[in-house]
Structure 1
Amino acid sequence: MTLHLLALETSSSLCGVALLSRVDDGAITLNVLEHDAVSEHAERMLPMVDELLEQAGIRPEHLSAVAFGQGPGGFTGLRVACGVAQGMGFALNVPVIPIPSLLAVATRDHVALSATAPVQIVVQDARMGEVYLAAYQAGLTAGRATWDELQAPTLIDAGQLGAWLDFAAGTWGLGADRGARLLGDAIQAYPAVAAVADDRSWLKVGGALRADVSSVARLALQRWQEGSSVAPDLAAPLYVRDKVAYTTLERDAGAGGNPRAPEQFQVLERMQESHLDAVAGIEAAVQAFPWTRGNFADGLKAGYDAWVAMQSGAVVGFCMSMFAPDVAHLLVIAVDPGCQRTGVGAQLLHRCEQEALKRGLPAIVLEVRPSNEQALCFYRHRGFEQLGMRKDYYPAAGGQREDACVMQKRLA
C-alpha cells in the first residue's frame, strides 16, 4: 500500500507544502511547492495544497497523515499550518504529525550520525532582539537516524547567547573532543550571534537556515514509521513566547517595552542520587503531603525514568515516570515556587512525553487533586483530558481523603 503524507511549514516567511509518497518497495518521491512572502500564508496555503495534490494526481482521501511544522515561529503562520492540518485530519479521519520547526532546521545541516557528532544548536530570529533556541544530538540506532533533544525550544535575548553557550558547554562537556555547530537564520539577523564562535574553539558556525517543508516531511515519515502521531484535536502549535505585548493594565502598572525571556537558563539532566535532597525540598515546598527522599530513592532503584531541570547549577524542577507495557504513567512532577510559570514544568512534561514516544507508548496518564486548579489548567492546556475519578486516592487534612482526577494525553 502506498503511503501519501502531506506536510505543511509556515513558521517563517516561507510557506511550503510537500507531498511525500512511499511505495511498497520503499522508493520515495517528494514533491514541493514553496512561496516566500510575509503575511500571505493564510491565503496561499490551501490553494497550494490543492495545486500540489492535482499535480501528483492524488485525491485528498488518499492521504495517510498530515504533518505540520509546529514552531516556534510567527504566531499567525503557526496557527495557519496547525489549523489546516487539524481541519484535514478531521475531514479525512487521518492522524496529524507535529514536527518541531527547530528540529527541521537541525536536520538540514548534514552531520555524521554518531554519538560523537557535533551538537546542533539552532538559533532562529524571534524579532525584538530575541532568538528561539534549541539543541539536538544526532545519532544512529538500528540503522535509523535519531535526534536527541538536549535543549527544548526556548526563548532568550540574543545578547544572552554567549552566556547560554558557556552554560551548555559546561553541562554537556563541549570542548576539544565534542564540539557544536551553530545554525539558523538568527546568524544573519544578528551579527553578534555569529561572533560568539570567535572565542569558542569548540563552536563552528553553520548556515543561516530556516525550516523547510522537505525536512518536515522527512521527519514526519520517520515519526510515522515509529507510530508517533496525534489525533487532530490534540495538535497544537509550539509558541514558546506566550505573549508579544503587555496588556493595557500591565502597562498602566508600569510595564514597558515587550515581555522578555527569563534571565536564567535551564537544562534537563537524568535524576541522580545527588539530586535527591533538592528534589525532596521542592516537593515539600509545593505539596501538603509530599513524597519523601526515600520515595524518590526507591523510584530510582526501581528504574523509573526521572529528570531534573537545572538552572545556574541548582535543581528547579523534576519529574518521575513509570513506563508500563501499554501506557506511560507520570508519577510526580513539581517546580520550585520561584521558577513556576517560566516554562520549566512544560519542558519537564515534554521530556516525559518524548521518552514515552521513544518506547512506542500510545498515551500518558496521571492523577491530580480536583482541588488543584492550577495543575488542572496546566494539564488541560497541554492536551490532557479527564478519564475518570479515583475515590479517596489522596490523603487530606484532618485525616480525610480526597479523590483523584485521572487524566490522559494520547500520543499516537
Structure 2
Amino acid sequence: MPNTPKNKATIIAFDTIFEQCSIAILQEGDILYTKTVAGGRGQTEIILPMLDKALQSVGLTVSDVGAWAFNRGPGAFSGIRINTALVQALSVANDAPCIGISSLLALALMAHDGENLPNGTTITAVMDARQNQVYAGDFIIQDGKIIAQDEYLLDYDGVVASDVVVGDGVDLIQADAKKLNIRPNASHIARLAYPLFLDGRAVTAENALPVYLRNNAWKTLAEQGKK
C-alpha cells in the first residue's frame, strides 16, 4: 500500500475520543468541511452516516481520499477502538494509508491556536484517565511548531511545571500555569496529519495502532463494569 498522496492531498480525519463524533475533510492544507456531534454514545452508528454526508457535501467519493487520519489516543478506550477500526477498514477499502495523531498533541495545537503562544512556551496536555490519574503530554513551541516531548500517566494532584496546561484534567493536577479546559475536534487531527502525509509518514492499516498508555486497558473496562 502506498504511503504517498494519490491524486490530491485529501485527508479525512475522525475523532471519537473527546466525547463526540467529529469528522473533517482537508484538501491541500485547507479544511473543506467539518462537523461535530457532541456525546459519547452511539458513535459506531453515527460516524459512517457522517462520513457519507461529508463526502456528498464536498463532491468527493471514498476513492478520492489520499489518507485517513484518526485520534489514536490516549483517551476513552471505546472511542480509541472505534477510531482505529474505522480508519483501518477504510484504508483497506480504498488502498489509502492511515495517520494516527495524539489526542494530547491535538490539545496542544488548540491551545497554541487560541493563545498564539510564543517560542519557548511549554505546554502540558492533561486528560482525565480515571482511577486517580490523568493522561499527560509535554510539548514545547519551537519556531512556531509544537514539539512533542513525552506522554505518560500522572497521579491526581501531581505537579506540572509548564507555562500552559490544557484539557479536561486541568483541575485535577497542581500547576502554576494558564489553564485551558478545551476540546479539539477532527479539524485539529486533520491539520496535524497533513504535514506527516506530505512527508510520507502515513502507515498501512495494520500499522495504524492505538495508544492507550495503560497496559491494562481491557482489564480496566471489566473492572469498571463490575463497579
Q: TM-score per shorter chain, which class? A: 0.7 to 0.9
1:127 and 2:124 matched = no
The 2-side partners of 1:81 and 1:15 are apart by 10
Give the secondary-structure state (helix, strand or coil) at the position aligned to 1:238. coil
CA shift for structure 1 position 207: 1.3
The 2-side partners of 1:113 and 1:47 are apart by 40
- Taking a change above 3 Å as real, the CA distance of residues 246 and 73 of structure 1, as seen in their structure-2 partners, is closer
Q: Are the aligned partners of 1:124 and 1:210 in contact in 2 as well (CA < 8 Å)?
A: no
CA deviation vs aligned residue, 1:215-274 (integer Å, no higher than 9, x gap): 1010011211222111111111111112254799xx9xxxxx99xxxxxxxxxxxxxxxx
Q: What is residue 351 of structure 1 aligned with on the other side?
A: none
Q: Give me the CA root mean square deviation.
A: 2.3
CA shift for structure 1 position 128: 2.7
CA shift for structure 1 position 42: 1.1
Q: Return the match for 1:63 from 62, 65, 81.
A: 65
Partner amino acid, structure 1, of 2:191: R
- Taking a change above 3 Å as real, the CA distance of residues 246 and 90 of structure 1, as seen in their structure-2 partners, is closer
The 2-side partners of 1:66 and 1:247 are apart by 27
- Taking a change above 3 Å as real, the CA distance of residues 247 and 87 of structure 1, as seen in their structure-2 partners, is closer
Q: What is residue 84 of structure 2 aligned with on the other side?
A: 82
Partner amino acid, structure 2, of 1:48: M
- Taking a change above 3 Å as real, the CA distance of residues 157 and 92 of structure 1, as seen in their structure-2 partners, is same
Higher relative contact order (CA 8 A, sep 6+): 2
Q: What is residue 3 of structure 2 aligned with on the other side?
A: none
The 1-side partners of 2:177 and 2:154 are apart by 20
The 1-side partners of 2:64 and 2:50 are apart by 17
- Taking a change above 3 Å as real, the CA distance of residues 232 and 192 of structure 1, as seen in their structure-2 partners, is closer
Q: Return the match for 1:155 from 153, 156, 169.
A: 153
Alignment of 1:12-411 (within 5 A): 12-22=18-28, 28-110=30-112, 111-112=116-117, 114=119, 116=120, 118-140=121-143, 145-151=144-150, 153-159=151-157, 161-162=158-159, 165=160, 169=161, 180-187=163-170, 191-193=171-173, 196-197=174-175, 203-243=176-216, 245=219
- Taking a change above 3 Å as real, the CA distance of residues 108 and 231 of structure 1, as seen in their structure-2 partners, is same
Give the secondary-structure state (helix, strand or coil) at the position aligned to 2:22. strand
CA shift for structure 1 position 192: 4.6
Partner amino acid, structure 2, of 1:50: D
- Taking a change above 3 Å as real, the CA distance of residues 183 and 246 of structure 1, as seen in their structure-2 partners, is closer
CA shift for structure 1 position 96: 0.4
Q: Are the aligned partners of 1:68 and 1:81 in contact in 2 as well (CA < 8 Å)?
A: yes
Structure 2 alignment gaps of length 5 or more: 1-6
- Taking a change above 3 Å as real, the CA distance of residues 135 and 51 of structure 1, as seen in their structure-2 partners, is same
Partner amino acid, structure 2, of 1:61: S
Partner amino acid, structure 2, of 1:158: Y
Give the secondary-structure state (helix, strand or coil) at the position aligned to 1:211. coil
Partner amino acid, structure 1, of 2:58: A
1:6 and 2:12 matched = yes
Structure 1 alignment gaps of length 5 or more: 170-178, 198-202, 252-256, 259-412
Q: Are the aligned partners of 1:11 and 1:211 in contact in 2 as well (CA < 8 Å)?
A: no
Q: Are the aligned partners of 2:125 and 2:167 in contact in 1 as well (CA < 8 Å)?
A: yes
The 2-side partners of 1:247 and 1:41 are apart by 18
% same residue: 27
TM-score, with structure 1 as normaliser = 0.49
CA deviation vs aligned residue, 1:344-396 (integer Å, no higher than 9, x gap): xxxxxxxxxxxxxxxxxxxxxxxxxxxxxxxxxxxxxxxxxxxxxxxxxxxxx
Give the secondary-structure state (helix, strand or coil) at the position aligned to 1:186. coil
Partner amino acid, structure 2, of 1:206: K
- Bigger Cα Rg: 1
CA shift for structure 1 position 212: 1.6
Equivalent residues, number = 215
CA shift for structure 1 position 82: 0.7
Give the secondary-structure state (helix, strand or coil) at the position aligned to 1:126. strand
- Taking a change above 3 Å as real, the CA distance of residues 17 and 246 of structure 1, as seen in their structure-2 partners, is closer
Runs (4+) of structure 1 exceeding 3 A deviation are 244-248
CA shift for structure 1 position 39: 2.4
CA shift for structure 1 position 146: 3.0
The 1-side partners of 2:93 and 2:64 are apart by 12
